[in-house]
Structure 1
Amino acid sequence: MTIDHILDDEPRRSIWLVTLADVMMLLVGFFVFLQVNPNVDARALSQSMREGFGLATDVPIALEANVVQGFAPGSAVLPPHDIAAWVRAVTTDPRTTVRVTGGTDGTPGDVDPRTQSGAILAVDRARAVAAAIAADVPAGRIAIDTRPGAGRAVQLTISYDGETR
């Protein structure tokens, strides 16, 4: 019997599978520890984990989204859309925020006419939608963002932002 014959008969496992199983067992043990230990302060634990991973603030949890489409190329004029009714229905919880993300389609014709900038047009579109919902959502709960190249639309994302401050 040769060494090749012995190695061929031996069952083998991929090394990544063993490593994955080890990580999963550690995670299960960690969560069991959290459930069993009544003295764990959840806020202190989450804060220390955020610091350990280099996150400065809480990351909001997205709950719902909607899109306002139909902007003309190079224009920030709000198309006919009943976004205010949707916002009123989904922002009843004061712990939520509305992120308004304006976009452009990335073509040379879909830019701000004065500055020839897609980013400025995306901001103008986001501001037009934010102004349309401002009567229904307090200003401190609206955040404006841009994503040039994402299409001639404005995306609204309702996020859980944590306990009220």
Structure 2
Amino acid sequence: MWLITLADLALLLVGFFVLLQANQTLSPHELARGIAEGFGVEPAPAAMPVASHGIAGFAPGSAALPQPTAMLVGWARGELRDPRVRLTVTGATDGSAQDVDPATRSATMLAADRARAVAAALTAGGIPDNRLILSTTPAHGPRSVVVTLAFAGETQGTRP
């Protein structure tokens, strides 16, 4: 009887090593998606972008707002009347050596600081912070922050 148990354990060990070997060619995202599909879990739908507004013209290496945000706050207030939407605040840098955070020399940190500055202006204008999502973009484009309105789906108690 113990031999059958030992054979089962050895088979599980071999299966584990096969899984490790197969995992070397898969990205972690693909592996997680495959496991979720195997268990019948449906992925959550991504928020669908609907509209956007932004602020451009940041000075290189600076997260100081280059212009007043009253128009952006007004736009956000109007769009957030629907409780099913969220705002994603995405900071970006231009990819140059000058457009980095002065303390850390990191472009990602500067992009995050720009997104936080715009998010702070939005919350100061009356936008609830639980309706904001902060992100950065690896793309090298203009020195800007884009605020994207996205349909986040129905949540309990939000039917209009």
Question: Which TM-score bucket, shorter chain as reference?
Answer: 0.5 to 0.7
Cα drift, residue 88 of structure 1: 1.0
Cα drift, residue 57 of structure 1: 1.6
Overall identity of the aligned pairs, in %: 42
Work out whether 1:159 is the aligned partner of 2:150: yes
- 1:63 corresponds, among 35, 42, 50, to 50
The unaligned stretches of length 5 or more in structure 1 are 1-49
- 2:98 corresponds, among 104, 109, 120, to 109
CA deviations over 1:58-106 (Å, ceiling 9, x no partner): 2111111011111100000012133111111211101100000000000
2:13 aligned partner: none
Give the TM-score taking structure 2 as reference length.
0.66
1:139 aligned partner: 129
Cα 1:54/1:113, change in 2 over 3 Å? farther
Please give the residue correspondences for 1:93-104 in structure 2 after superposition, counting only pairs within 5 Å: 93-104=82-93
Contact 1:74/1:112 (<8 A) preserved? yes
Count the aligned residue pairs.
116
Cα drift, residue 54 of structure 1: 7.5
Partner Cα distance (2:100, 2:57) in 1: 15
**Which one-letter code corresponds to 1:157 in the other structure?**
T
Cα 1:119/1:91, change in 2 over 3 Å? same
1:33 aligned partner: none
Partner Cα distance (1:58, 1:150) in 2: 28
Give the TM-score taking structure 1 as reference length.
0.64
Asked which structure has the greater CA Rg, the reply is 1
Work out whether 1:127 is the aligned partner of 2:116: yes
The unaligned stretches of length 5 or more in structure 2 are 1-35
Runs of 4+ in 1 over 6 A off after TM superposition: none
Cα drift, residue 151 of structure 1: 2.0
- 2:78 corresponds, among 86, 89, 95, to 89
